[in-house]
Amino acid sequence: MSIKQEFREAREKFRLLSLYQRFEHFVVMFLTALIVVIVVAALWTLTLKILFGLVLSGGLDPSDYSAFQAVFGMILTVIIALEFKKSLLVVAEGRNTVVQIRSVVMIALLAICRKVIILDLTETDALHILALAAAILALGLIYWLIGVRDREGDEAA
């Protein structure tokens, strides 16, 4: 399909939307554009920090846990932003008018995993670690249950 045909179809779909749906579509597209700017800036910063801060300065020591924490924390931040953008695009494409719960749970899991990776275990109490573990287990269970429900729905259809 050519780009002209895709734009023509998008315009036709847009004409069928109500005023509120058009507003909602505009908001989603605006948020998507903002997230793209954030992802590009985060990726640029990540590249500069890895290149100049670690590689060229000779600070790239794989056994240095703080360097590992910083780099993978930044990488997970970019991944979280990309997942968030993807969930907004699902809404923009009109496949679903509500952000899918599976996507929200995935973003929450990624955020908590990022927190665990950048966590300084020497300064964190056991209760805090237990709370993070409980949150990961609860969100993992929810994600699994949603997957089971989706598979059962596909089989029934």
Reported as a single tens digit per residue, the pLDDT across 19-40 is: 887 888 888 889 989 999 999 9
E strand or H helix at 13, and its extent? Answer: helix 3-15
Per-residue pLDDT at 97 = 46
State residue 140's pLDDT score: 93
**What total number of domains does the chain contain?**
1
Cβ atoms of 75 and 114 within 8 Å: the answer is: no
Q: How far is CA 7 from the centre of its chain?
A: 27
- CA torsion angle 43 47 49 51 (round to 10): 180
Q: CA 60, CA 147: separation in Å to the nearest integer?
A: 40
For residue 1, what is the DSSP state?
-
Amino acid identity, residue 5?
A: Q
Write out the residue range of the structural domain in which residue 87 sits. 3-155
Q: Are 141 and 109 in contact (CB under 8 A)?
A: no
| Regions in the chain scoring below 50 on pLDDT | 97-98
